Structure 1
Amino acid sequence: MTQRTEPVRVVAAGDHFVLPGLIAGAVEAELGGIAVQTKELTLGWPLEPFGPVSEVTEASDAEDELIEALDGAEVLVTQMGPVTERVLDAADRLKLVVVCRGGPVNVNLDAAKAHDVRVCFAPGRNAAATAEFTVGMLLAALRRIPQAHDLLAAQGKWESGAAYYTYEHSGLELEDLPVGLVGYGAVGSRVARVLCAFGAQVMVYDPYVRGEIHGLRVHSLDHLLARSRVITLHARLTSETRGLIGARELGLLPEGSVVVNVARGPLIDESALCDALESGRLSAAALDTYELEPLPADSRLHALADRVVLTPHLGGASRAVAEKAARIAAEEVGRWARGERLAHCLT
Structure 2
Amino acid sequence: MTTRARALVAGDRFVLNRLLATDLATEGAFDVRELELPWPHVPFGPVAEVDEASGSEEELMTALQGVRVCLTQMAPLTRRILAACPDLELFAVSRGGPVNANLEAATEHGVAVTFAPGRNATSTAEYAVGLVLAAMRRIPQSHLGVVDGRWESSLYAYEETGLELEGATVGLVGAGAVGSRVARILLAFGADVLVADPYADPATLPPGVRFVELDELIATSQVVSLHARVTDETRGLMNAARIAAMPAGSVLVNCARGALVDHTALAAALTDGHLFAAGLDVFDVEPLPPDHPLRHAPHVVMTPHLAGASRAVAERASRMVAAEAGRWLRGRPPLHCANPDVLARVR
* Alignment of 1:29 onto 2:26: yes
How do residues 101-140 of structure 1 correspond to structure 2 at under 5 angstroms? 101-140=95-134
The offset of 1:216, in angstroms, is 3.2
> Secondary structure, in 3 states, of the residue corresponding to 2:9?
strand
How do residues 146-295 of structure 1 correspond to structure 2 at under 5 angstroms? 146-153=140-147, 155-158=148-151, 161-212=152-203, 213-214=205-206, 215-295=208-288
Cα pair 1:122 1:325 within 8 Å, conserved: yes
How do residues 79-90 of structure 1 correspond to structure 2 at under 5 angstroms? 79-90=73-84
Which stretches of structure 1, 4 residues or more, deviate above 6 A after TM superposition?
none
Q: For residue 222 of structure 1, what is the amino acid of its counterpart?
A: D
CA deviations on 1:146-172 (whole Å, 9 max, x unpaired) are 00000001x1011xx223211111000
CA deviations on 1:281-326 (whole Å, 9 max, x unpaired) are 111000000000011111111112x410010000011011000000
Partner Cα separation in structure 1 for residue 8 and residue 55 of structure 2: 17
Partner Cα separation in structure 1 for residue 113 and residue 233 of structure 2: 26
Cα pair 2:276 2:299 within 8 Å, conserved: yes
Cα pair 1:43 1:62 within 8 Å, conserved: no
* Alignment of 1:66 onto 2:78: no
The offset of 1:61, in angstroms, is 3.7
Q: For residue 11 of structure 1, what is the amino acid of its counterpart?
A: L
Percentage of pairs with the same residue: 55
The offset of 1:263, in angstroms, is 0.8
Cα pair 1:130 1:262 within 8 Å, conserved: yes
Partner Cα separation in structure 1 for residue 155 and residue 280 of structure 2: 21
1:12 matched to which residue of 2?
9
With structure 2 as the length reference, what TM-score do the two structures score? 0.95
* Alignment of 1:332 onto 2:324: yes
Q: For residue 311 of structure 2, what is the amino acid of its counterpart?
A: R
Cα pair 1:207 1:219 within 8 Å, conserved: no
Q: Out of 321, 333, 344, which is 1:341 matched to?
A: 333
> Secondary structure, in 3 states, of the residue corresponding to 2:43?
coil
Higher mean displacement: 58-67 or 227-236: 58-67
The offset of 1:217, in angstroms, is 2.8
> Secondary structure, in 3 states, of the residue corresponding to 1:30?
coil
Count of aligned positions: 337
Q: Out of 316, 323, 327, which is 2:315 matched to?
A: 323
Q: For residue 12 of structure 2, what is the amino acid of its counterpart?
A: D
Partner Cα separation in structure 2 for residue 166 and residue 201 of structure 1: 27
The offset of 1:211, in angstroms, is 2.7
CA deviations on 1:127-185 (whole Å, 9 max, x unpaired) are 111111111111000001000000001x1011xx2232111110001000010000111
Partner Cα separation in structure 1 for residue 292 and residue 193 of structure 2: 32
Cα pair 1:21 1:40 within 8 Å, conserved: no
With structure 1 as the length reference, what TM-score do the two structures score? 0.95
* Alignment of 1:145 onto 2:139: yes
Partner Cα separation in structure 2 for residue 10 and residue 289 of structure 1: 34
* Alignment of 1:57 onto 2:48: no
Q: For residue 281 of structure 1, what is the amino acid of its counterpart?
A: H
The offset of 1:5, in angstroms, is 3.2
Q: For residue 115 of structure 1, what is the amino acid of its counterpart?
A: H
Q: For residue 335 of structure 2, what is the amino acid of its counterpart?
A: A
Q: For residue 182 of structure 1, what is the amino acid of its counterpart?
A: V
> Secondary structure, in 3 states, of the residue corresponding to 1:232?
strand
Cα pair 2:252 2:279 within 8 Å, conserved: yes
The offset of 1:219, in angstroms, is 3.3
Structure 1 unaligned blocks of 5 or more:
none
Cα pair 2:179 2:227 within 8 Å, conserved: yes
Cα pair 1:101 1:325 within 8 Å, conserved: yes
Cα pair 1:83 1:108 within 8 Å, conserved: yes
Partner Cα separation in structure 2 for residue 258 and residue 121 of structure 1: 34
The offset of 1:278, in angstroms, is 1.2
Partner Cα separation in structure 2 for residue 63 and residue 170 of structure 1: 54
> Secondary structure, in 3 states, of the residue corresponding to 1:192?
helix
Cα RMSD over matched residues?
Answer: 1.1
The offset of 1:227, in angstroms, is 0.8
Partner Cα separation in structure 2 for residue 163 and residue 236 of structure 1: 41
CA deviations on 1:170-212 (whole Å, 9 max, x unpaired) are 0001000010000111111111101000001111111001233
